[in-house]
Amino acid sequence: MMQIRTKAEFGRVIEVASRLVPWRLPLYAAAADGLIQLVEVMPGAGLPKALDRAARPLVILVGDDGETPVGPDGWRCTARLRRMARSAIVHAAGGQRGHYQEAVRAAVSGAAPLALIETTTEQAQAWRAVFGQRPQILILPPPGDRHPRVTPAQPIN
């Protein structure tokens, strides 16, 4: 697991994120300011035992909305995440900065460790079930829409 510790390292992450995932900037800024500890998990990775002693409110980010989303069964960390998280945001819509600001607010206000799951519309309910009766926010696209959007191929003229 890569650890980012210095303001310069956070600055580089924020610079890249502003181009690739600008909706996540509130998370990275809060981590850079020392408000939260942010951990981004990869599908084959577990959650380090050191997280049990997190000194700041913890946000665990799971990005399961890429090209091949696998749902909770495809993540090695799911069982431990289920035990650790006091609350969850299951985000199955296009990223919006305000949603990520809300995740920071929730974590800082005492809902940490907070699981923030970025997923597809199809996997949203499976992820929601992982956290059972714990406080959750489920963010879905408008009725008739889905995430990620699939745009039909346009013919080349």
Q: Which residue has the higher pLDDT, 73 or 8?
A: 73
Amino acid 53: pLDDT: 84
Distance of alpha carbon 12 from alpha carbon 28, whole angstroms: 11
Domain coordinates in residue numbering, the chain: 7-48+56-139
Percentage above 70 pLDDT, the chain: 91
What is the widest separation between alpha-carbon atoms in the chain? 59
Question: Residue 107 in 3-state DSSP?
Answer: helix
Amino acid 142: pLDDT: 86
pLDDT tens for 36-75 read 999 999 888 889 888 888 889 999 999 999 888 999 999 9
Task: Give the helix ranges, DSSP H, for the chain.
Answer: 7-20, 25-32, 78-84, 97-106, 124-130
Name, in order, each residue with C-beta under 8 angstroms of 7's C-beta and a sequence gap of 6 or more: 32
Radius of gyration of the chain (CA): 16
